[in-house]
Structure 1
Amino acid sequence: MVESVVAVVPDPVGSGGRWCALGADAGAAGPVESVPDLAAAVARREAAERPRWVWAATDEMYPWLLERAPVRPARCHDVKLVESLLLGMAGRHGRPRSLGAAWARLHDLPEPPDAPEAGADDQPVLFAADRQHLPQDADPLTALIAVYADQRRRIAASEHPDRTLLLCAAESAGALAAVEMGRDGLPWSATVHDELLVGLLGPRPAGGARPALLGDLSLRLQQALGRPVNPDSPAQVLPAFARVGVHLRTTRSHELREVDHPAAALLLRYKELSRIHAAHGWAWREAWVRSGRFRPEYVVGGVVSGRWATRGGGALQIPRLLRGAVVADPGHRLVVADAGQLEPRVLAAMSGDAGLARAASAGDLYAALALDAFSGDRPRAKIALLAAMYGQTSGEAGQLLAVMRRRFPAALALVEAAARTGEAGGVVRSRLGRTSPTPSASRFVDTDGADDAGTADTDGAASAGQRAARSWGRFTRNFVIQASASDWALAMLAALRRRLAAIGPEPRLVFFQHDEVIVHAPAELAAAVEAAVAAAGDEARRLVFGPTPVPFPLETHAVTCYADAK
C-alpha cells in the first residue's frame, strides 16, 4: 500500500492554509490546494486517508490545529526535528534547524539562527520564526516541499537508511505525543498536594517566606556546625563543615550521604525539602496546574542523547514524596508502565553478548548476573554493570569491572570501543543512528552524570588534555547505551500511541519520562491498555534491535494514585 504524504502550511493570517500531496520521490504529486478552514480540512482528510503530514514544526503547528478541531494525526514528518537528527549525523550539532535555516543551506545562503525557545508564559506565533527566516520572495509551501525532499535524499544516503527513517518517524511521533500530553495533562489533586506540602513543610508561609520546617532545619544545621550558615550557599557550607573536621568537595547529595556527622543528615533533609518547595510547591502549582491537570511543556530531543526535557515545570522529576497528588478521575485508572533495567538490556541487545542476554532473559537482570558471576551478590553485580556502562574505575568498581570483562567480553568490548572512539575525538551512534557530538561541540552536552555515578580519575599526573579525553570517553561510552535506550523508548511511545487510538478516544497518554509512561483510562479499559503497553514494548524491541532474544518487559500497574504504582 502506497503511503499518502501531504505537505501543509497555514496562511499567514486567518484560519486557512494550503497543502499538496507528495509522491514517492518526495516531490509534488498534484496541485496545490487552498482551504479556508485548515484545521477542519486536516481533520476530514485525516479521517479519510490517515496521511503522513509534513510540516515545519509539530510544536508550532499541532497546538494550533488542536485549538481549532478535534484532530489527532496518526503520523507526521517534523522538518525541524528531522533536520536536527540529520545535522547531528553529519557532525554539525548545534546548527540552526528551522525550515528557514534548512532552506538557506539548500541555496548556499547565510543560515539564520533559530529563534529562542518560548518561555512558559509566552504565546508562540505560528511559523513566525520560519517565515522571518525565509526570503520575502520564497513561498513557504515550496520551501517546505524542497526541504522535505532534501531530507529524504539524506536519509536514503545514510549508512542504514531503514534505521534512520525509523528514527525520524519515531522522533516525529514523539512530538505529536508531547503536544497531546501537554494539552490533556496529568491528573493532579490540589487538595492532596496541599496535604502533602503541609505535612512536609508546615503551613504555607505568607509573602514568599521560608516554610517553618525549612527554618527549623536551618537553625538545627547551624547549631550542629556551631556557627551561622546559609544552607543554600555552598561558599558558606563547605568552610563550616571543614571547621568541624569534615572536608567536602561539593554539597552534592551523593557526597553528603558518605559523611558521618549529624550536620550532613540535616543538610540532606534541608536540600530535599527545599527542592520540593522550590520546584513543586505552592507557587509551582499556581503556575503549572490548571483545571485539575498538570500541563507541562515537553521538549522532544531536548537532550543530545534523545531524552526529552521540559520547558519549566519539572515534569521529568516529580518527587516520590508528591506522587500521591497524581490521582485518577473517578471511574478511571492510571496505568503506570515502567521499563525496568532498560539500559543494561540495551547493552545486552546491542552487543549480542550471550551471557548478558541470558541474564536479561531471567527477569531480574542484576540477580541473574549475580548468580552467574558474583556469587549471588546482587549489589556487587549492579555496581559492576553500572561501572561498565559509566566507565567507573575507582575502588571496588574497578575490580568488579575486571570480572565483567572476563565473563561478558562482547558487552565490554562494545562500551570500551565507544570510549576509545570518544577519547580519540570521534563520534559514536545509537542503534538507529543518533550521533554524539564531537568534543569541540561539548557545550551541547552535560557530562556531570558520569561523575555523579562515582567516576574518578585515578591518574593524578595526567595532563588536562588527557583528563578531558577520558571524560569524553566516559560520555561516549554511555551515549551509545543511553541514546539507544531513547531509540527504543520513542519507538515504544509511538507504537503505544497508535494502539491506544485503536482502543478508542478515551485512553490518553498523560506522562512520559525516559523509561516510564502513564495512561489515564476508564477503569473498564485498564486491562486493554496494559495489553497495549506490553505489545508496544515488544514491537519496539523488534523494530529497533531486530531478532534479539533480550526481552524489554514493561511492568504495569493500574492504580488510582501514582504513589501506589511503586
Structure 2
Amino acid sequence: MLIALARDGPSVRLAELDAGGRPIAEHTVSPDRLPAWVAERERGQPDGLRWVWADTARVYPVLLDAGVRVRRCHDLRLVRAILTDNLHAELAPAAPDGGDPAAPDPFAVAAPTEPGEPDLLDALEELEGTVAGRDEPDLSAVVAEFGRQWRAVETSSRAARLRLLVAAESVGALIAAELRHDGLPWDVGTHDATLTRLLGPRPRFGGRPVVLETLADRIRAALDAPTLNPDSPTELLPALRRAGLEAGSTRQHELEQLDHPVIPALLEYKKLSRLLAANGWAWMDSWVVDGRLRPEYLPGGVVTGRWATRGGGALQLPKQIRGAVRADPGWRLVVADAAQLEPRVLAAMAGDRAMAAAAQGADLYAALVGQGVVAERSQAKVAMLGALYGATSGTSGQLMPRLTRAYPEAIGLVEQAARDGEAYRRVSTWLGRCSPEAPESWRELHRRLVEGEADVADAQRSRRQSRDWGRFTRNFVVQGTAAEWALCWMGALRTALRELGTEGPGPGLGRPHLVYFLHDEVLVHTPAGLAAQVEVAIADAAAQAGRMLFGSRPVEFALDVRTVESYDEAA
C-alpha cells in the first residue's frame, strides 16, 4: 500500500494510493494525532506499506520525536534529483495542475556548485544540498509528483535498477533522520580530557589554548616576526618568504617540502589549530547534546550519491577524538568497515572474473600480489587507485599496463567512462544515477576545438579540461556505484536490526540501532549480549547488498567487523 502525506493548513491530509499512484481514499488528521495514525497503519501493514512525502528530513523527525518509526518511504525531492535529466528516464519538472509554471518547484533540490578549474575531482567533494522551493506542496501536488516519478521509472529502459535506486535513496533518507535522532554516543569528559592533553586547558575567555600560544611564540621567534598571526595566510606567507623560503602557499604538503627550523612548529600548530576549529570545545558545545552527537546528514549530498553533512562534521571525525565515541553501560559498538570497496565494486560491474577472484578474501591488494600482477602490496594499492582516479604518471602510470593485462574488463570499463567524459558524454552508475553536465564554458570550448575554431592556447586548455573531466567520469561510475551498494547494505542491516532485542529502559535492554555512517563504514550501538548477532547481521546485509545490485556475480564484499567499547579501539 502507498499512502501520500502533506500538510493542509492546520491539518494533515493523507491519501491511500493504488499501485499506479491514483488516490482511492483520503483522510484528514490533526498534527497531534498523526504519529498515532501512522503507527496504527504501520502495524496493520507490516510488509507492504510505503509513505510518500515531499521531504523525509521535514516529516520524519516529527514522527521520531513521538516514538514512531516507519519501514519504507518514497522521498519525492531526493528521487526528483535522481530522475531529472537521468540517462534512463526523463522527468519534466511540471507545475502541479493549475499551478504557476514560473513558481519555485517545491520538489527540486538546488544543483551542486559547478566544478571548476583546476581540479575536476573537486566535484566529488562534499557539497551542501539545499531545498530550492521553500513552500510545502499540498496533497494534490504530492500525488501528482509521485505519479510522474512512478511513470518515469516504470517506462525507463532499465526500470528494475532504477526502481532499486529510488528505494535505496529513500531508505537512506529514513536512516539519516534516525541517525540524527538517536545520536552517536559521546563522552564529553573523554573529549575534554583529550583536548586538554593536546591543547592545554580550555581558555576561560576565548583565545588560543596554551599549547597553541606556545607554538605561535616559537613560530614568531623563528621567523623574526613578533606580531605574526600564524592563522593568517596573508601574514604567514610573506613572513616565510622574508626568511628565504620559496613557499607558494601555506598548505601542509608545500610546507613539508621546506627545510627550516620553523617548519616542525608550524606543522604542529596547523594540525592542532584544525582540531580546535573543527572539533574543539565550541564544536562539542554546539553538537553534543545529552551525551549524543547529532549531526545533520545529507543523503545524496554529493554528485556521486555519497552523503554529505550540513553541520556537525560527522564525515570527518579525526582519530584524536574517536575515543570520545563510547558505548553506554551494558552496551557495545559494533564497527564494520567494507574492505577495498571500490575495487570490488569495479570487479562486479565489469564482470571481470580474474579481478573477482582477487576479491575472494579479506585483502584484495594482497591477492593482486598472489596473482603475480605486482610484486608488493603497496604497489597493488597504488596501481588500483591509479586506475580509479586516472593516474598517468609516476608509479601508478607505470603499473597501469600490468593491471590492463590482468583485468581487461575492469580496466576497460573505467577507460570507457573516461573516454565518454573526455567527449563530454554523460555516464551513469550501475543503478542509473547520471553524472552532471560539464561546465558549459568547457563544452563550448570543446565544440570550437572540434570545429577548428580554437587557437593554440585554447586548444591546449580544452584538451586539459577534457582530460580532467574524463578523470571525473572515470571515478564517478565506480564511486557512485559504491555509494549505491552502501545504501543497500544499510537498508538491509536496518531491517535486520529491527528483529533483534526488546524495547525497554536500562543497561543491556533495547534494540541495536545504527548510530554512524561514513561512506563504507557503519557503527551499530547494541546491548552487549546481542553483539555477536549484530556482527552476523552486518555480514549478511553486505552479502545481500551485493546480490541486490549484481545478482550472482562472484564478488565477495569483505568486511572488517569489531565489537568495542569505544570507537578508537576499532582502529
Q: Same fold (TM over 0.5)?
A: yes
In structure 2, the CA distance between the partners of 1:275 and 1:106, relative to structure 1 (3 Å rule), is farther
Could you tell me how far apart the structure 1 residues matched to 2:109 and 2:170 are? 21
Correspondence for 2:78 among 78, 81, 87 = 81
1:38 corresponds in structure 2 to 34
1:47 aligned residue: 43
Q: CA RMSD in A?
A: 2.8
The 5 A counterparts of 1:359-378 are: 359-378=358-377
Measure how far apart 1:244 and its partner are. Answer: 5.2
- The Cα of 1:199 is off from its aligned counterpart by 0.5
Give the Cα–Cα distance (whole angstroms) in 2 for the partners of residues 489 and 223 of structure 1.
50
Report the counterpart of residue 447 of structure 1 in structure 2: none
Matched residues in 2 for 1:331 and 1:362: separation?
33
Residue 530 of structure 1 is matched in structure 2 by 535
Aligned to 1:463: 460
Q: Give the Cα separation in 1 of the matches to 2:259 and 2:477.
A: 37
Q: Which runs of 5+ in 2 are unaligned?
A: 111-130, 443-455, 504-510
Find the counterpart in structure 1 of residue 14 from structure 2: 19
Match of 1:514 in 2: 519
1:230 Cα shift?
3.4
What percent of counterpart residues are identical? Answer: 49
Which stretch of the first structure deviates more once superposed, 70-79 or 247-256? 247-256
Q: Is structure 2 residue 40 aligned with structure 1 residue 10?
A: no
Aligned to 2:175: 177
1:355 to 1:6, Cα distance in 2 relative to 1, 3 A: same
Equivalent-residue separation in structure 2 for 1:331 and 1:249 (angstroms): 53
Deviations 1:164-207 (A, max 9, x none): 11101011001111111101100111110110000110111122
Aligned AA (1:220)? R
> Aligned equivalents of 1:273 and 1:91: distance in 2?
48
Contact kept? 1:339, 1:553, Cα under 8 Å: yes
Counterpart for residue 473 of structure 2: 476
Q: Name the structure 2 match of 1:129.
A: 134
Give the letter for the 2:433 counterpart: R
CA distance in 2, matches of 1:338, 1:105: 47
User: Aligned residue for 2:381?
Assistant: 382
AA aligned to 1:528 is Q
Q: Which amino acid aligns with 1:364?
A: D
Q: TM-score under structure 2 normalisation?
A: 0.86
Return the offset for 1:90.
5.5
Task: Name the structure 2 match of 1:59.
Answer: 57
Q: Mark the CA change 1:249 to 1:461 in structure 2 (over 3 Å): closer, same or farther.
A: farther
Aligned residues of 1:91 and 1:437 also touching (Cα < 8 A): no
Q: Which amino acid aligns with 1:507?
A: P
Q: Are the equivalent residues in 2 in contact too, given 1:296–1:313 (CA < 8 A)? A: yes
Letter of the structure 1 residue corresponding to residue 369 of structure 2 = A
SS in structure 2 of the partner of residue 33 of structure 1 = strand
Deviation at 1:372, TM superposition (A): 2.7
Residues 19 and 375 (structure 1 numbering): CA distance in 2 closer, same or farther, change over 3 Å? closer
Aligned equivalents of 1:106, 1:546: Cα separation in 2: 44
- Equivalent of 1:166 in 164, 167, 178: 164
Change in 2 beyond 3 A, CA 1:184/1:544: same
Superposition map of 1:422-441 within 5 A: 422-440=421-439
What is aligned with 1:148?
Answer: 146
Q: Does 1:497 align with 2:494?
A: yes
Instruction: Give distance in 1, aligned partners of 2:441 and 2:183.
Output: 34
Alignment of 1:273-284 (within 5 A): 273-284=272-283
Matched, 1:558 2:556: no
Question: Structure 1: which 5+ residue stretches go unaligned?
Answer: 118-125, 135-139, 444-458
Q: Which residue of 1 aligns with 2:450?
A: none
The 5 A counterparts of 1:314-463 are 314-440=313-439, 463=460
Contact 2:77-2:109 within 8 A present in 1 as well: no
Deviations 1:129-183 (A, max 9, x none): 233xx5xxxxx21221111011011011223111111101011001111111101
Q: Is the 8 A contact 1:61 1:127 kept in 2?
A: no
Report the AA paired with residue 372 of structure 1: Q
1:211 counterpart residue number = 209
* Distance (Å, rounded) in 2 between the aligned partners of 1:105 and 1:460: 51
Q: Distance in 2 between matches of 1:433 and 1:128?
A: 25
Q: 1:317 to 1:536 in 2, by over 3 A?
A: same
Q: How many residues align?
A: 524
**1:545, 1:259 → 2: CA distance?**
49
Aligned-residue offset at 1:298: 0.8
Over 3 Å counting, the alpha-carbon distance change for 1:536 and 1:432 in structure 2 is same
Q: Deviations over 1:76-116 (max 9, x none)?
A: 001111011101515999x9x9xxx6545997812516699
Q: CA deviation at 1:374?
A: 5.0
TM-score in terms of structure 1 length: 0.86
1:120 aligns with none
**1:388/1:401 contact within 8 Å kept:** yes
